[in-house]
Amino acid sequence: MARVTKEERKNGIISAALKLFSEKGFYITTIPDIAEKVGMSVGNFYNYFKSKDILAKELVLYISEYLGNQIREINDREISTEEKIYEIISMYFNMADEKPEMIEYFLRVYLSNREVFGDGCEGMICVSPFVTEMMMFFNDGVANGDLHDQDFFSAFGLFMGYLGGMVFLFGEKILPEPLEWYKESISQNIYNALKTR
């Protein structure tokens, strides 16, 4: 049997923790819960993460990098800004569908437990890979004349707030249709709101 690398063990912990945090909640989940789920001793767990807070921060970075990589791949494609918007939304909704624990963690844990992320994860530090890619997206859109020039956060808030809201409604089982069903119209709405006038 092949030896499991340290990196793989670490990723294992991350997926287990994400699942537990989203099922049981961040505060209720304990380190022994996580250790048990990945099948390691609590002592060994501490070799990977010195505390639950550090794990929590690593998770944000992990998700941010995951999102950043996905958006970067879209940014690098030779397609119009309108198509990029559609692709980013598809990717995001897909992730909410297939890896709901990631989005859940981001929306429910990171955004609502700021005290945990104060030291070393404040501001842009842990979300930088994701936000940087969104900056690149907006920058390119304005530079090629597709989007109108405005303040970054006004545009960013419109885009991500909308998606976050939809995922929230989806998570609360309020949406009558699957997320997939809304992609087209949401893309259109976002593009219409941001496009050059």
Cβ closest to another protein, residue 28 vs residue 124: 124
Choices 15-23, 33-41, 43-51, 137-145; region in contact with another protein by CB under 8 A: 137-145
For residue 51, the tally of other CB atoms under 10 A from its CB is 10
Cβ closest to another protein, residue 120 vs residue 165: 120
Quick note: the x/- pattern for another protein over 58-97, rule CB under 8 A, is --------------x-------------------------
Least distance from C-beta 139 to another protein, angstroms?
A: 4
The residue within the footprint of another protein, chosen from 61, 135, 160, 175 (CB under 8 A), is: 135
Of 135, 165, 143, 154, give the one whose Cα is nearest residue 194: 154
Dig out the tokens for 138 from the structure: 């907006």
Torsion of CA 54, 59, 60, 65, to 10 degrees: 130
Residue 98 exposed, middle or buried by CB count within 10 Å (0-12, 13-18, 19+): exposed
Cβ closest to another protein, residue 22 vs residue 81: 81
CA-based Rg of the chain, rounded to a whole angstrom?
Answer: 18
Considering only residues 141 through 180, tell me which ones interact with another protein, judged by CB under 8 A: 141-143, 147, 149-153, 155
Number of continuous H segments (helices) and E segments (strands) in the chain: 9, 0
102 touches another protein (CB under 8 A): no
Residues that bind another protein (CB under 8 A): 72, 122-125, 128-129, 131-133, 135-136, 138-143, 147, 149-153, 155
